[in-house]
A and B are shown apart, each in its own frame.
Chain A
Amino acid sequence: MSWSGVYADGISPRLQQLDVEADFDGLQLRGEATREHWRWSDILAVVPLASGEPVRLGHRASAARLRIDDPTAAVALLAHAPSLQRAHRVRSVGRRFSKGIWIRFGLATAALVFVIAIGPDMIAGLMPQSWAARIGDETLRVLAPESKRCTDEAALRVARDLAARLAPTQTIRLEIASLGQPNAVALPGGRIMLSREMVAFARTPQEIAFVLAHELAHEQHNDPLTGFVRVSGMQVLSRVMTGGSGMLGNAGVVAANAPMSRRVEARADSDGMRMLEAANIRHNEIDSFWRRMEAQTGASNGYLASHPSTAARARAATTDSQDGEPPLDAAAWDALKKGCR
């Protein structure tokens, strides 16, 4: 089989017309200035070969190109070399990465691993308290503007005194504000936000004491600041890894952060219970608190959840012990419930 072909030698864009003949080993190219033999294994498809279409081939060892416009050529060549049905991986300029590239790759990877695994704890530990407080205040301002905050002095004093009793050595700034759902949040710099909805939801002072103890445990471990640094780093990383695909990148951040977040939350639950014990506060109804929470807000579960499942938290909080005192007397409890409802 032979056809007329158009050949470019890869050194100049000048085209030469030549005869192309297919044999058992490959293609014979014969022109006035060109005489080459391309073995089948050296031939690459610049564009995948398709019946009736011009054939565009290249040579693996050079930049030479060959075009056969005859519509019958594609089928005949595919019979010899079926791989030409697929576009070849054209050799790239940077096909062989130098040693320097791999060293830089290693350093870059190490830097990014640092961001995720080691960096957050280290950075959070080194950050001055005044900086952490500034981040906490700013977050507090965004999360709960002044207009949403509870200003009842008596109620705030009750909550702050309870926090001080649970963690006497910690410097805490506690605020109560509307967050739209029963919740509490620990923020960098010892800032804690208790929601009005949580105050309304709680049936006993023990429940409020447990919620505060949980958030105080987060503060003891510097979890809010570590989490802030980690998520910020992961957001940069996700942008890098996805080339800026926002929604997918955010899903990646949630998925990557969730297991660590669940561990931190479980630790804050158990440390919170220990804190209640240490302060001699009765804590035998926390499991029912979680069951009511599940009934109100739905089950928290799944691989992407930031907290352990509500059922697991209820099981971990189950105790028959009646030891300890109530965290608040009736008057204080009344002041809190009425003042920041």
Chain B
Amino acid sequence: MHDVAANMPSGSRARVSWYGKTSELYALLATNILFKILTLGVFTFWARTRKRRYFWSHVEFLGDRFEYHGRGIELFLGMLFVAAAVLLPLAIASSLLTLALPDELKAIVQVFYFIALGFLTGAGVFRAIRYRLTRSAWRGLRFGLEGRAGRFGRDYLFRTFLMLITLSLHRPWFDAWYYRTLLTSTRYGDQHTESRPEGGELFGTYLVCWLLMVPTLGLSMAAYRVAFLRHLVARTTLAGLTVSFDATARDLIFLRVGNFLIVGAVLLVALGASITWTTPLMIGSTLSADNKSVAIGLIFLVFGAIAVTTVLPLLWQRRMRFFCTHFVFGGALAVDHIRATTSDAPQVGEGLEAAFDFDAVG
């Protein structure tokens, strides 16, 4: 058998490459938004799938592209199940208890409601990541995530509670637990990722950033994010493959400030255009109040959609270029030790995560 260099022999270094084009991202987003408007938002699940398919297939590692095998119908069904099995009963139970109970007991109901919400959020994140990994492949082999969503949800709830009572000082331990749990449960083929981040080692850096958060308007947290990412990837390996992250806090701040300025400029223009178009409707129109509201809403919707279409591909490009540039892989990918598996994968996915507005991967 003749091996090729792309098997990544020991001692070499490699980066992930991003081949997405801004023009293609604009076309993708524009069609997604158009279909979302035409279907009053129902196309969201298919739009999300199209986006992921594009992103995955334009990221290359060692000469080969990633693949996304998910389908819109799976996301749609996942959301439908969650609505019927979780959201509706939760909303109805919460409403009925709030109505039926005397005022002094309502606070207890609220506490239970937030406990349920915290647990479901954690479980939802786990299920969403499992769904995405089981639908992701490289060189024909799929990724996966072992473990139980319920246990992750329980720990997530407990650690979120610790975050609350420590005013976020628990953050380094939270992050270390979160990524350690997810990464050690992640597998490529039959090989599990190993990850051993330690929150205690990052507490000093975090404390300084935490104290500087107000005077720096939150920008100090970029230093912590970079320190954490470096720490995390330095302690993570997969089948002999090691990772490092070579960006500095300044690089991350430039990325975020740049994004903020782009978003701010485009939103200002969109807001100005919306106000210019709606002012005549508000002061000189003979439309009824109902129709006026609809017309004004539509104008804001159209300019909002134009603003989002304008700004998002630029942000995607900047983010993908940034991360692809700064993650460096070393060591030797032990291809002979990796085999495909036939583990069960969920048939539907992401309902909980989508319901609670989390987007953990992209």
**Chain B residues positioned under 8 Å from A9 (CB to CB):** 140
The answer to whether A33 touches B1 (Cβ under 8 A) is yes
Within 8 A of A (CB), among B71-98: 71, 74-75, 77, 79-85, 87-88, 91, 95
A112–B3 alpha-carbon span in the complex (Å): 55
- Least Cβ–Cβ distance between B362 and chain A, in angstroms: 15
The answer to whether B290 touches A302 (Cβ under 8 A) is yes
**Chain B residues positioned under 8 Å from A16 (CB to CB):** 1-4
The answer to whether B345 touches A93 (Cβ under 8 A) is yes
Within 8 A of B (CB), among A1-57: 6, 8-17, 31-33, 46-47, 56
The answer to whether B139 touches A239 (Cβ under 8 A) is no
Contact of B140 among A33, A58, A94, A232 (CB under 8 A): A58
The answer to whether B42 touches A241 (Cβ under 8 A) is yes
Contact with A along B1-25 (1 / 0, CB 8 A): 1111011000000000000000000
**Chain B residues positioned under 8 Å from A104 (CB to CB):** 81
**Chain A residues positioned under 8 Å from B189 (CB to CB):** 12-13
- Least Cβ–Cβ distance between A54 and chain B, in angstroms: 8
A105–B347 alpha-carbon span in the complex (Å): 12
User: B250 interface residue, CB < 8 Å from A?
Assistant: no
Contact of A300 among B70, B71, B74, B288 (CB under 8 A): B288
Supposing A91-B69, A298-B286 touch, asked if A12 and B336 sit within 8 A by C-beta, the answer is yes
User: A164 interface residue, CB < 8 Å from B?
Assistant: no
- Least Cβ–Cβ distance between B310 and chain A, in angstroms: 17
Contact of B347 among A97, A255, A310 (CB under 8 A): A97
**Chain A residues positioned under 8 Å from B319 (CB to CB):** none
The answer to whether B84 touches A111 (Cβ under 8 A) is yes
Nearest B residue (CB) for A237: B83
Supposing A12-B335, A12-B340 touch, asked if A300 and B40 sit within 8 A by C-beta, the answer is no
- Least Cβ–Cβ distance between A161 and chain B, in angstroms: 31
User: A337 interface residue, CB < 8 Å from B?
Assistant: no
Contact of B80 among A112, A249, A299, A304 (CB under 8 A): A112
The answer to whether A115 touches B88 (Cβ under 8 A) is yes
Contact with B along A107-120 (1 / 0, CB 8 A): 11101100100000
User: B333 interface residue, CB < 8 Å from A?
Assistant: yes
Nearest B residue (CB) for A245: B41
Stretch binding the partner chain, chosen from B118-126, B163-171, B216-224, B291-299: B291-299
Stretch binding the partner chain, chosen from B59-67, B200-208, B256-264, B322-330: B59-67
A239–B74 alpha-carbon span in the complex (Å): 17
The answer to whether A305 touches B80 (Cβ under 8 A) is no
**Chain B residues positioned under 8 Å from A247 (CB to CB):** 297, 300-301, 304
The answer to whether A64 touches B140 (Cβ under 8 A) is yes
**Chain B residues positioned under 8 Å from A252 (CB to CB):** 40-41
The answer to whether B288 touches A14 (Cβ under 8 A) is no
Contact with B along A165-192 (1 / 0, CB 8 A): 0000000000000000100000000000
- Least Cβ–Cβ distance between A116 and chain B, in angstroms: 12
The answer to whether B83 touches A112 (Cβ under 8 A) is yes
Contact with A along B37-69 (1 / 0, CB 8 A): 100111011001000010001100001110111
A247–B53 alpha-carbon span in the complex (Å): 26
Stretch binding the partner chain, chosen from B108-116, B130-138, B266-274: B130-138
Within 8 A of B (CB), among A208-238: 232-233, 236-238
The answer to whether A305 touches B83 (Cβ under 8 A) is no
Supposing A10-B140, A12-B335 touch, asked if A240 and B83 sit within 8 A by C-beta, the answer is yes
Nearest B residue (CB) for A256: B40
User: B104 interface residue, CB < 8 Å from A?
Assistant: no
Contact of A93 among B64, B134, B139 (CB under 8 A): B134
**Chain A residues positioned under 8 Å from B70 (CB to CB):** 92
User: B214 interface residue, CB < 8 Å from A?
Assistant: no
The answer to whether A63 touches B355 (Cβ under 8 A) is no
* Residue picked from B44, B58, B188, B347, most chain A C-beta under 10 Å: B347
The answer to whether A65 touches B140 (Cβ under 8 A) is yes
Contact of B139 among A8, A32, A62, A97 (CB under 8 A): A8
The answer to whether A299 touches B286 (Cβ under 8 A) is yes
**Chain B residues positioned under 8 Å from A147 (CB to CB):** none
**Chain A residues positioned under 8 Å from B151 (CB to CB):** none
The answer to whether B57 touches A46 (Cβ under 8 A) is yes
**Chain A residues positioned under 8 Å from B355 (CB to CB):** 239-240, 244
The answer to whether A108 touches B84 (Cβ under 8 A) is yes
A305–B289 alpha-carbon span in the complex (Å): 10
* Residue picked from A63, A108, A111, A240, most chain B C-beta under 10 Å: A240
Supposing A13-B139, A46-B67, A299-B286 touch, asked if A31 and B347 sit within 8 A by C-beta, the answer is no
The answer to whether B88 touches A17 (Cβ under 8 A) is no
Chain A residues packing against B (C-beta within 8 Å): 6, 8-17, 31-33, 46-47, 56, 58, 62-65, 67, 69, 87, 89-95, 97-98, 101, 104-105, 107-109, 111-112, 115, 127, 131, 134-135, 181, 232-233, 236-245, 247-249, 251-252, 254-255, 297-302, 304-307, 310
Q: Which 10 A-B pairs have the closest CB atoms?
A: A242-B41, A63-B140, A94-B347, A10-B140, A248-B41, A108-B84, A243-B44, A93-B345, A298-B288, A240-B83
Given contact pairs A17-B4, A93-B69, A301-B291, enumerate 19 new A-B contacts (beta carbons under 8 Å).
A16-B3, A17-B3, A65-B139, A93-B345, A94-B346, A97-B347, A108-B81, A135-B99, A236-B87, A237-B83, A240-B82, A240-B355, A241-B41, A241-B42, A243-B44, A243-B48, A245-B44, A247-B300, A299-B288
Report 15 cross-chain contacts, Cβ distance below 8 Å, ordered by A residue. A11-B141, A13-B189, A16-B1, A91-B69, A94-B74, A112-B80, A127-B99, A131-B100, A243-B354, A247-B304, A249-B41, A251-B297, A299-B291, A305-B290, A307-B290
Chain B residues packing against A (C-beta within 8 Å): 1-4, 6-7, 36-37, 40-42, 44-45, 48, 53, 57-58, 63-65, 67-71, 74-75, 77, 79-85, 87-88, 91, 95, 99-100, 134-135, 137-142, 188-189, 285-292, 294, 297, 300-301, 304, 333, 335-336, 338-340, 345-348, 354-355, 357
